[in-house]
Amino acid sequence: MKLHEIVKNTETYVAERFPVEKMSYSAMVEKKEVPVHRVSWAYYMGGLALYFFSVQVVTGLLLLFYYQPTVSDAHASVEFITEHVPGGALVRNMHAWASSLMIGAVMIHLLTSFAMKAFAKPREITWVTGVMLLGITFALGFTGYLLPWHQVAVNATKIGLQSIEEVGQYLPGAMAEWPRIVKEIIQGEAAVGQATLSRFFALHVIILPLSIIGVLGMHLLSVQLHGMSKGIDGTPTRHEKFFPTFFMKDLSVWGVAFIILFVISLTIPFESLYSYPLFEPFNSKGSTPDGIKPEWYFYFIYYPLELLPYWVILVGSGLLGAILMGTPWIFKNTSRKTLQILAILAAIYLVVMTVFGEQIYHMFKA
Amino acid sequence: MVDAFLFIGLPYLALVICVVGCIWRSRYKKFSMSARSSQFLEDGKLLFGSLPWHIGIITILLGHLIAAVVPRVWSSLMSVPAILFSVEAIGVACSLLAIVGLTTLIIRRITDARVQAVTTSMDLVVVLLLMAQIIVGLLTAVFYPYGANWSTGTVVPYFWGLVTLHPDMSYVTGFPMLFKLHIIGAWILIALVPFTRLMHVLAVPLGYIFRAPQIVLWNNARRRRVAVEATARAESRRDFIKGAVGVTGATALLALGISDKVLTYFKGPDPDPEAESALLQKKLERLQQTAEERQIELERQKNAMILVARYSELEESQGKYFIDYAMAPGLAFLGKDSLPLLISAKCTHLGCTVGSQVNSEGQILCPCHVSYFNIVTGEPNPGAPAKVPLPHLAWALIDANGETIASAKASGEVSGSSDPAVFAQCRLYITQPVSTSI
């Protein structure tokens, strides 16, 4: 191919993904329509994730006024927020619960978008930015988990970071040391300590939110540019206007989500799902307490990690990441029927691993 | 005698006339139960007459009514000077407003021919009486100020005496003439209610607030079209206003609630001395703990040997934790051969700290992923997640004189004495690993 052809093809490609003629208020808001059919509920998932993200921003900013990211004060400051600051327990609970709800919404959003083939041309960019957002969201969950500096937080982070080092055993020669070096770059010192806390704090509060906002901007722009994907085979019989009809419905869903979140946060402390010793301040000299686990949304990879040889997980998750990134091209010609079956299988796997992971683990390990 | 008539006879007479008359009028002249509208004869001056008049008079009447109905609440409110002054000021302002409005209405009624056409003589009587009544009221307020306060002990008991059929005019006979006139005027006005447009006080068109607007106009094709458009416009405006009021109200409430919570959140807890000292204590302990850790780290960089425990403290089945030269946890046991047994407690799988309790098979457990390590060999049990044995650590036993009695290298090679009797006085140290230069 000649150079000018490459340039031309690239131009066409970009122009299809970012149609400049549609970059107007009238095309992106006034004229946008949302198909109405039996899986229309899936169109709310992205908005819901966005909503929980904004809850995270607001509650996170509130927490920032009291939280102190040092190994001696972090745990005490979190306790101070929960026990002494007026409304502090509510704010912290909302932050904790909304993180879970956000990840839940993001996962459902991923599966439904996959099943509806919402990644098909010209929506590849939307999909790829979405996968990036998923990664950042998980990274936010992982970094945020360390900040309270209690036993479960530090030990789970240790295990998570140690698994990077484990890659070393499969690498030849001097390369075997590389994963350890990467791990130490992330944690900032030989063991998880003050440097790790500072780094995770910076990641959780500044770097990841900033990058999420950047990628999210791209994601939302593409969504508004291309409109909702029709989501089903055949033509939807009915459409409704995005603004104000669908938007108002979106707001109502957010209202309901807020009420649910508020009631849960008011009544169920996030820690109540674990036994107390896990929430004592981290003690570097004592033994690791029983029952160290990551957050529930990592169970789908945590329990297999416990059960299977490490290389299986490595290859598996590497493949999964590649497939997710390449979905728009890999499943280009796959029918919606097949995609739906795949999505349902994935959903079953996620639910089973998350809910029954521990039982499965004990079944094979007993 | 005259007083008795004016303050007992007249009131009952007025009340009877009013009640009977109102019933009669509502039974037999149902459609006259209002003030006859003259809006579509003249609606320019009406706005500037009717509106101030009604705003003023309704406010004032409400003040009278509340003071009469709940005198104790009212007087306790009026005992606060700021409230009393405000109420007095509002009263005077409203009566001035009412006077301005009423004056406009009078001028309108006597200058506009079209309005005159629908004016009855009773209308004029009422309007002049009202004017007199309100001027007398205003003068009372000016010459005998703080009536909002003193009325609760005088006029109000008089009024309740009449209502409960125990009339007692002694409350009012001593009043100055001006105020007596105000009371008499009130009874006369009450007596006139059934015969005049005052009747509309009893037929307040509250429904008007909620119903769609109706426009009265001359009937022809063009006016009809205009009316339809005007009605549609007015209706959509009403809807918008209703919606806006709702949204604004809800937002205001929400903002109030949120700002209340957020402000107290930012303000922080009220310092309760006990809780605060407990908190400081805790923070201090944590700081000391951190300082200790730093201390340990520094020691390991500087010292060739680190104290672990006294030899006599070691046990076979229960390890003692210490921090080794790599800042990782280690465990010290008493071996079967009476020599110390020092082993790393950092699990070779994912770095958890291994437990210190030895089980019957001579193993210690890593709780994270259930690996059992033999403390003598360091080997994990077959099938455990951990594949690599826990390394042993180099140690030295030093006696009270600082002499090295026995020592072991990380490889397990022991040198020196092996007599437990000598060890009893010794302290156990870990020794710095021979630096494997990079």
Structure confidence at residue A98 (pLDDT): 96
Substitution target in A167, A183, A288 with the highest count of B β-carbons within 10 Å is A288
Residue B261 and residue A87: Cβ atoms within 8 Å? yes
Substitution target in A82, A154, A198, A285 with the highest count of B β-carbons within 10 Å is A285
Tell whether B333 is covered by a domain.
yes
Q: Which value does ipTM take for this structure?
A: 0.80
Distance to chain B for A360, nearest Cα, Å: 14
Q: Determine the Cα–Cα distance for residues A246 and A244; give it in Å rounded to an integer.
A: 6
Structure confidence at residue B438 (pLDDT): 42
- Name which of B287, B345, B353 is nearest A72 (Cβ-Cβ): B287
User: Which one-letter DSSP state was computed for residue A122?
Assistant: T
* Mean pLDDT of chain A, nearest integer: 90
Residue A80: which of B269, B260, B272, B290 has the closest Cα? B269
Tell whether B220 is covered by a domain.
no
Residue A76 and residue B279: Cβ atoms within 8 Å? yes
Q: Determine the Cα–Cα distance for residues B92 and B79; give it in Å rounded to an integer.
A: 19
Between positions 224 and 253 of A, the ones with CB within 8 A of B are none
Tell whether B303 and B186 lie within a shared domain: no
B303 confidence band (pLDDT: 50, 70, 90): confident
CATH number of the domain within which B175 lies = 1.20.950.20
Domain that holds residue B187: 2-204
A31: left (phi over 0), alpha (psi -120 to 50) or beta: alpha
Structure confidence at residue B437 (pLDDT): 42
Please count the CA atoms within 13 angstroms of the CA of A114 that sit on its side-chain side. Answer: 26
B60 confidence band (pLDDT: 50, 70, 90): very high
**Last residue in a domain, options B181, B204, B227:** B204
Structure confidence at residue A322 (pLDDT): 95
What pLDDT digit, counting tens, does each position of A39-82 carry? Answer: 889 999 999 999 999 999 999 999 999 999 999 999 999 999 99
**Last residue in a domain, options B204, B233, B268:** B204
* pLDDT reading at B324 higher than 90: no
Compare all CA atoms of chain B with the CA of A161 and give the residue at the minimum distance: B350
Tell whether B56 is covered by a domain.
yes
What pLDDT digit, counting tens, does each position of A341-352 carry? Answer: 999 999 999 999
* pLDDT reading at B54 higher than 90: yes
Burial state string for B276-298 with b = 16 or more CB within 10 A and e = fewer than 16: eeebeebbeebeebbeebeebee
What pLDDT digit, counting tens, does each position of B178-219 carry? Answer: 999 999 999 999 999 988 888 888 887 777 777 766 666 677
Tell whether B382 is covered by a domain.
yes
What pLDDT digit, counting tens, does each position of B106-143 carry? Answer: 999 888 888 888 888 888 999 999 999 999 999 999 99
Tell whether B22 and B169 lie within a shared domain: yes
Compare all CA atoms of chain B with the CA of A290 and give the residue at the minimum distance: B367
Tell whether B82 and B193 lie within a shared domain: yes
Question: Would you say B332 and A144 are in contact if contact means Cβ atoms under 8 Å apart?
Answer: no
Between positions 40 and 79 of A, the ones with CB within 8 A of B are 62, 65-66, 70-73, 75-76
What pLDDT digit, counting tens, does each position of B365-415 carry? Answer: 888 778 899 888 888 988 787 888 888 888 888 888 888 888 888 777 788
Q: Taking the CB of residue B85, how many other CB atoms lie within 10 A of it?
A: 14
At residue A121, the 3 state secondary structure works out as coil
Residue B393: which of B437, B340, B336 has the closest Cα? B340
Q: What pTM value is reported for the model?
A: 0.69
| Chain B residues within an 8 Å CB radius of A258 | none
CATH number of the domain within which B333 lies = 2.102.10.10
In chain A the domains, ranked by start, together with CATH numbers, are 35-292 (1.20.810.10)
Structure confidence at residue B213 (pLDDT): 65
DSSP string covering A10-73, please? HHHHHHHHS-GGG-SHIIIIIS-EEEESTTGGGHHHHHHHHHHHHHHHHHHHHHHTT---STTT
Task: Using an 8 Å CB-CB cutoff, list residues of chain B that contact chain A.
Answer: 261-262, 264-269, 275, 279, 282-283, 286-287, 289-290, 293, 321, 323, 326-329, 345, 349-356, 366-370, 385
Compare all CA atoms of chain B with the CA of A92 and give the residue at the minimum distance: B265
A103 confidence band (pLDDT: 50, 70, 90): very high
CA A131 to chain centre: 9
Structure confidence at residue A366 (pLDDT): 60
Tell whether B161 is covered by a domain.
yes
Tell whether B223 is covered by a domain.
no
Q: Determine the Cα–Cα distance for residues A361 and A353; give it in Å rounded to an integer.
A: 10
What pLDDT digit, counting tens, does each position of B252-280 carry? Answer: 999 998 888 889 999 888 878 888 898 88
**Last residue in a domain, options B179, B204, B229:** B204
Structure confidence at residue A177 (pLDDT): 87
How far, CA to CA in Å, does B300 sit from each of A169, A192, B332, B408, B433?
Answer: 29, 18, 17, 18, 11
| Chain A residues within an 8 Å CB radius of B369 | 306
- Count of structural domains, chain B: 2
